[in-house]
Structure 1
Amino acid sequence: MKVQQKFWQRSLIWSLLPLTLVIATWRSLAWWSWATAPTQPTQAKLLQIQIPSGTAAQQIGRNLEKAGLIRSQFAWNLWARYLAWQNPKGDFKAGTYELSPSQPLSAIAEKIWLGDVVQASFTIPEGWSLRQMAAYFQAKGFFPAQEFIAAANQIDRQQFPWIPADLPNLEGFLYPDTYKIASGEITAQALVKQMLKQFEQVALPVYQKQRNKTNLNLKQWVTLASIVEKEAAVPSERSRIAGVFTSRLQKGMRLESDPTVEYALGIRQTADKPLTFAQVKIASPYNTYLNQGLPPGPIAAPGLASLSATLNPEKTDYLYFVARYDGTHVFTRTLKEHLAAVAKIRQERISQ
């Protein structure tokens, strides 16, 4: 009887074992489904989470659970191990993230694993000076204007050995473009480095490939292109304006460019308030009405079109031009023609 009883007990245990495993598996799956589900199923407000460099995966999980973004740190640890098994060389990335409680654990983990950090964007238009950039960054709340000016005066020639040795600052070499940068990395130094790298990648190769077309060195090229950028309001006139300035330089004539005076004085003339004769006579190394040749450095950040036009100036016998009030210019060959064009445009302005 005892042998028969033990037999039936063992049979009962073995018959119940599959059911026990099914129940345990069901409970595990149910728990996993709960643990990895969003903490708030409906669309929730995004939360910003900062993950410092070197933070361990377990600590990230603790921080996320504390912030209410995941339900279980244990589930996070399991998912982290799964990601590490899939990609042994990968890891969670430091930075600032925007995460939502309505996202499942897998989506949150993937975002941090891939380094999908919050990014800020900024746009530097062609023709802006360092002063304009500095004011723009301050207005966006990035940092004080003076911090940017200070960073632009510190030239890292170890990282950027191609930068001309006699530059007073980085005016003209911070490439105008639209940029994105991780929100946790917004410093004046980081933005200067990013814009210098863009110049290195976009503008510098243009000069290196076509330097046989010009007698200008790198600094002179960017300086002349910056003046062309400030003078040319109409794209179709860039090459002609570059041609006029190139001819004047070759003939030993002063450039007599208004934007160089504006840069020297830190002002901007308008149709209703043009430069005065007194202002044009103010001494400055940047005043091309008083000094022959190019100014000591660029006066703005030239775009690719002006940089290219300076390397490929139009061959012309025009030596003068004056701006109309629609952005175009009247080009003339002699001083007499130029003065007549100036008088006519001023008269048209008065009669309007």
Structure 2
Amino acid sequence: MKRFLIFLIILTIPAFFYIFHIKKPVNSTILIKKGDNLFKIADNLKNKDIISSKILFLIYSKIRNKPLKAGYYEFKGDYSISDVWYVLYKGKEKLVKITINAGNNLFDIAKKLENKGIIKKDTFLKYAFDKDFLKSIGIDKPSFEGYIYPDTYYISKISDVEEIFNMFFNRFKKEYKEFNINDEKFYKYMIVASLIEKESSKEDEKRIIAGIIYKRLKMKMPIQIDASNIYGLKLKGYEYINITKQIYKIDSPFNTYKHYGLPPTPICNFSKKSFYDAINPAKTDYLYYFSKDGKTHIFSKTYKEHLRKLKNF
């Protein structure tokens, strides 16, 4: 009898471990938050139908005795309890893809981040304009505007605020590592780069517009850039903005019709090409320009010439 029991146990042990490796089809995602304990993780996995048995998952986890990682996970295909455990143990989470385009401002980016479930829009904007927080990550400026390099990013849904901002800022520093990014001259180029990014999508026009901006600054003329005025309205809480005479009346340092000089901060992020165009403006006789179709611009040397060309359109 004793031998029979031993024989039975020997047969049972492989069968017991086999059940941890039985696969089932799964098509689900799950968010495991920082601080979730093993029981909560098992509950969530069972509720999402990722595992067949909460008890078996708990037993297997206790046998393996290794910590599981928080994250946003996607399961598509056939998975066993051991497979699921391994994914969580290795932290093979599904990162969220977000594309930041040149010309996006903080308000655009905040909306994208919220839509992807990464961070609430208001929370992102709160920290993006918090001078104390910005100083803590190495930026002594009024806002984070301009410090997000346009590219595609892959972000964890469990990233905290500081991790998100450091990710963006570290990428920006890497792209401009040959510059002293804390220098005031560098910040001036950032502002000009953001202005020309908004003014034109035509690469051959940006250097010309940069040259006009610098020429107007030198002549103590207002630079008169609508996009800056619109940004000032956004800072005051306007969501939808039409190009009307109202934008010229705004009481804001971003009103480039009322105030001389550059706006106090960039008004959007910008491509590296725009930044180098801000450093190397084209030398022309132009002082005025307008767009006939919202895409290309007509340039003039004098105000009289500018009015005549305007009249023809």
Normalised to the residue count of structure 2, the TM-score between the two structures is: 0.77
- 1:46 counterpart residue number: 28
- 1:205 counterpart residue number: 177
Look up the equivalent residue of 2:107 and give its one-letter code. Answer: R
Contact preservation (8 Å) 1:53, 1:95: no
Structure 2 residue 165 is the aligned partner of structure 1 residue 192: yes
Q: Deviation at 1:237? A: 1.8
- 2:142 counterpart residue number: 168
Contact preservation (8 Å) 1:61, 1:77: no
Specify whether residues 217 and 47 from structure 1 end up closer, same or farther in structure 2 by C-alpha distance, changes over 3 A only: closer
Contact preservation (8 Å) 1:50, 1:95: yes
Measured in 2, the distance between the counterparts of 1:74 and 1:269 equals 55
Report the 3-state secondary structure (helix = DSSP H, G, I; strand = E; otherwise coil) of the residue aligned with 1:44: strand
Contact preservation (8 Å) 2:137, 2:166: no
Contact preservation (8 Å) 1:46, 1:101: no
Structure 2 residue 20 is the aligned partner of structure 1 residue 35: yes
- 1:108 counterpart residue number: 84
Measured in 1, the distance between the counterparts of 2:179 and 2:230 equals 27
Look up the equivalent residue of 1:197 and give its one-letter code. Answer: N
Measured in 2, the distance between the counterparts of 1:311 and 1:205 equals 16
Look up the equivalent residue of 1:160 and give its one-letter code. Answer: I
Specify whether residues 335 and 206 from structure 1 end up closer, same or farther in structure 2 by C-alpha distance, changes over 3 A only: farther
Report the 3-state secondary structure (helix = DSSP H, G, I; strand = E; otherwise coil) of the residue aligned with 2:155: strand
Counterpart of 1:154 (choices 130, 135, 147) is 130
Counterpart of 1:310 (choices 278, 284, 287) is 278
Q: Deviation at 1:229? A: 0.9
Counterpart of 2:107 (choices 131, 148, 153) is 131
Structure 2 residue 218 is the aligned partner of structure 1 residue 250: yes
Percent identical: 25
Contact preservation (8 Å) 1:206, 1:308: no
Question: Larger radius of gyration, structure 1 or 2?
Answer: 1
Measured in 2, the distance between the counterparts of 1:66 and 1:139 equals 27
Q: Deviation at 1:34? A: 2.9
Contact preservation (8 Å) 2:29, 2:72: no
Unaligned runs of 5+ in 1: 1-16, 85-90, 348-352
Measured in 1, the distance between the counterparts of 2:16 and 2:115 equals 50
Report the 3-state secondary structure (helix = DSSP H, G, I; strand = E; otherwise coil) of the residue aligned with 2:79: coil
Counterpart of 2:309 (choices 320, 334, 341) is 341
Query: How do 1:190-339 and structure 2 match up within 5 A?
Result: 190-202=163-175, 204-205=176-177, 207-208=179-180, 217-266=185-234, 274-276=243-245, 279-325=247-293, 327-339=295-307
Measured in 2, the distance between the counterparts of 1:27 and 1:268 equals 67
Considering only aligned residues, what root-mean-square deviation do their CA atoms show, in Å?
A: 3.8
Measured in 2, the distance between the counterparts of 1:62 and 1:289 equals 61
Q: Deviation at 1:227? A: 0.6
Q: Deviation at 1:228? A: 0.8
Q: What is the CA deviation profile of residues 6-65 of structure 1, one whole-angstrom value per residue up to 9, with x for unaligned ones?
A: xxxxxxxxxxx9x99998765543443333222xx3x23325262644857xx6896588
Report the 3-state secondary structure (helix = DSSP H, G, I; strand = E; otherwise coil) of the residue aligned with 1:253: coil
- 2:156 counterpart residue number: 182
Q: Deviation at 1:254? A: 2.5
Measured in 2, the distance between the counterparts of 1:61 and 1:295 equals 50
Report the 3-state secondary structure (helix = DSSP H, G, I; strand = E; otherwise coil) of the residue aligned with 1:48: strand
Specify whether residues 49 and 26 from structure 1 end up closer, same or farther in structure 2 by C-alpha distance, changes over 3 A only: farther
Measured in 2, the distance between the counterparts of 1:125 and 1:341 equals 33
